[in-house]
Structure 1
Amino acid sequence: MLEGMRELAGAGLAPPEIFRRADELLRPALGFDAVCWHTADPATGVVNSVQSEDLSLSEFEHAVWLEVWADDLATFSKIRRSGVQAETLSRATRGRLRESVRFREQVAPAGFGDELRAVFDAAGGMWGCAAFLRAPDRGPYLGHQRELADAAARHLGHALRACHRPTGTEPGVDPGVDPGPAVLVLDRSNRLQALSGPAEELLARLADPTPSSLTVPTAVAMAAERARRAAHGLSTPRTPVRVWTRDERWYLLHGSALRGGGTADAVTVVASSASPAEVVPLHLAAYGLTAREQEVALLLVRGSDTRDVSRLLAMAPYTVQDHLKSVFAKTGVSSRQELIARLMLGGGG
């Protein structure tokens, strides 16, 4: 099973197909009855899409609310900070499942028992995550199943990371054309009230693989809920939600709460193409560069030569050359000029 998971990284598949293949491999091994898959903003771990062939997602807006607002046990963010990549609700609650607000309000009402969550990290970024649900009569997940999920999650992280590499080969796409920012206005239930710019076309490109009760894509709803949380004075990182669209562009979604005029909890979400400075670190992570290799590559993109890199990073010149060789090998280029073209223009894959 793990060998099959490992092969996904080189299969050249898009996230929806990666998840379908992973389902086929993991379902008999983990013994789950339903699964909900997500891609994520690799820099922050914020969920930005949803896919499930088992669940109706008729109340997915509540799942989004819980993810942003509830200080629950075994959330995706807490699992990530714990140093493991998979955790079960039964283990996190020591068998007292009802201590979890997610279990009380979402898992149990849907007819499930234990939940196993996994985060798909690779090269310092979280590229996706999933929740595996099982019927109550199956009992809790066993220790070896959690460990298996942990190992499989690492392979899924690499597979999802690989499919975010820029290829510049999407049919009909001119990478030089920026459609400009899109502005969306949402009410307190995340229903779309107004839009401007290329928002309608962008919404279609951000659409979730599986329809849900949300009337906007998951990434937009997450940006809106984070803006509301910040407006209520609760600790919330002031970072946009990053999302990779079907035309191979990174977009940044900035949410901002509206005030006055009877607009309680209404928000605007502004979606714009990521700038080259914002894109390059994401591309470096997608190619699987280590943190040190990313530092070297960023300096090269900014015009530094080997001596500059050596001085700025307090690194011997031969060590810089070793890092350069690794950077070139991982990105599939043979010169600094090719590296810059690949990272800045998305040329070749």
Structure 2
Amino acid sequence: MGSRGIRGAAAQQAIEGLRELAGAGLTAPEVFRRADELLRGVMEFDAVCWHTADPATGLVNSVLSDDLSLDSFQDAVRLEIWSDDVATFPKIRRSGVRAETLNRVTKGRPEHSVRYREQIAPAGFGDELRAVFDAHGGMWGCAAFMRAGDRGPYLGHQRELADIAARHLGNALRASHLPPPGDGPEDESCPDGGAPVVLLLGPSNRLLAMSGPAEELLAGLADPTPSALAVPTAFAIAAEQARRAAYGLPAPQRKIRVQARDGRWFVLHASALRGGTAGEVTVVASEATPADVMPLYLSAYGLTAREQEVALLLVRGCDTRDVSRLLTMTPYTVQDHLKSVFAKAGVASRRELIARVMLGVGH
């Protein structure tokens, strides 16, 4: 068997391993570390930076890397929000593929990328492959894979492998966000009765002041890999979006959902201060409401868009007749959707579905 066949067999083995991750009950950091073990040899990368994301907006909300020094991660956040670079995560999503390389998108001229000039090349890397982990309409995470300059650019079959791998990683990350099957954590109380946390961040996202149970929340939302940021990644991303909007540039997504280590979801909303020091931003973090979180859990079960519409109406108290009328479908069609919803959620009745979803919301 030639080298091409060996490479193909190794790639297939990696894909099979990735496919199994969705049913392994892993956390997001565990998914990433297992994916690293499966992909590093066949994709031939030298460093990787993994991120989870708010599934609804696609905004990055955490960072994990066992390879890279994150001393300049603030610069990476700034570039991600402010620069109109090539092969950004949003542009890859809009392109219709899940993975792209700098060398391919710049036609062999990676120096055309500001990200390459300011970060990738100075760190000693030659090419970067980025992948977005989409599943069932949500972006659950993404990653940037770097390789040393002397390896040359990524090859076509490696980008194709990353594209396939990204789909399975999207499913694995989606599964990691499923509501807990048990009775929830032993202590579901919220610090200060669920009072919102308010942070004041300086121009470089330095923490200037805070109120509410901030220390507990910051610890619960801390990144898997510490970086030079004074606050978790989600806060810095929200703050940069607010600064961009204050500068008059398009920034439609300034609200970020992020899940704490105890399973609770929080919503961050940032606003630039008026009349204060330039660049100062307040970030308010509050526990997510059922309206914020329920669509994410329904998506995490792998429901189609139509099935999510049916399930949301059920959770809100509608019966089959109401759903039929509101969604303009026959009662028989509603029942077919319900069977699929129950099967995917692992429940046998509407009451069980509502209990399962509401348990996740209150987790």
With normalisation by structure 2, the TM-score equals 0.93
Separation of aligned partners in 1, 2:188 and 2:228? 33
Alpha-carbon spacing, 1:55–1:169, altered in 2? closer, same or farther (3 Å): farther
Partner of 1:345: 359
2:348 to 326, 329, 334: 334
1:138 aligns with 2:151: yes
* Residue in 2 that maps onto 1:274: 288
2:225 to 178, 191, 210: 210
Q: Corresponding residue for 1:224? A: 239
1:197 aligns with 2:209: no
1:134 counterpart SS class? strand
Q: Given the alignment, which residue of 13, 38, 42 partners 1:25?
A: 38
Residue of structure 2 in register with 1:296 after alignment? 310
What is the RMSD of the two structures over their aligned residues, measured on CA atoms? 1.6
One-letter amino acid matched to 1:75: T
Aligned length in residues: 348
Alignment correspondent of 1:255 = 270
Closer, same or farther in 2 for the Cα pair 1:175/1:305, shift >3 Å?
Answer: farther
SS in 1 for 2:84: coil
**8 Å contact from structure 1 (residues 58, 213) kept in 2:** yes
| Paired residues of 1:38 and 1:49 also in contact (CA < 8 A) | yes
Contact 1:170/1:247 (<8 A) preserved: no
Question: What does residue 246 of structure 1 align with?
Answer: 261
Distance 1:173 1:129 in 2: 32
SS across alignment from 1:94: coil
Q: Which residue of 2 aligns with 1:322?
A: 336
Counterpart for residue 89 of structure 1:
102
- Please say if residues 166 and 348 of structure 1, whose CA atoms lie closer than 8 Å, have aligned partners that are also in contact: no
Is contact 1:85–1:154 with CA below 8 Å preserved after alignment?
A: yes
Q: Is the 8 A contact 2:242 2:254 kept in 1?
A: no
More deviation in 41-50 or 298-307? 298-307
Matches of 2:18 and 2:120, distance apart in 1: 27
Give, in whole Å, the separation in 2 of the partners of 1:41 and 1:336: 27
Deviations 1:33-76 (A, max 9, x none): 00000000000110000000000111000000011001100000
Amino acid at match of 2:103: S
Match of 2:129, SS state, is strand
Structure 1 unaligned spans of 5+: none
Instruction: State yes or no: 1:122 paired with 2:135.
Output: yes
CA gap of 1:173–1:160, structure 2 versus 1, over 3 A, is farther
1:173–1:154 Cα change, 3 Å: farther
Q: For the residues of structure 2 that align with 1:115 and 1:245, how far apart are their CA atoms? A: 30
| Contact map agreement 1:85 1:120 (CA 8 A) in 2 | yes
Provide the C-alpha distance between the structure 1 equivalents of 2:358 and 2:317, rounded to a whole number of angstroms: 13
Work out whether residues 290 and 361 of structure 2, in 8 Å CA contact, stay in contact via their aligned partners in 1: no
Offset of residue 173 of structure 1? 3.1
Q: CA deviation at 1:226?
A: 0.4
Task: Name the counterpart of 1:184.
Answer: 199
Structure 1, 49-58 or 238-247: larger mean CA deviation: 238-247
1:172 is displaced (CA, Å) by 3.4
**Which residue pairs with 2:82 in the alignment?**
69
Question: Partner letter of residue 182 of structure 1?
Answer: V
Partners of 1:173 and 1:247 within 8 A in 2: no
User: CA separation in 2, counterparts of 1:54 and 1:311?
Assistant: 54
Identical counterparts, % of pairs? 74
Is the contact made by 2:184 and 2:359 (CA closer than 8 Å) also made in structure 1?
Answer: no
> What TM-score results when the alignment is normalised by the length of structure 1?
0.97
Is 1:40 aligned to 2:53, yes or no?
yes
Q: In 1, are the aligned partners of 2:294 and 2:361 still within 8 Å (CA)?
A: no
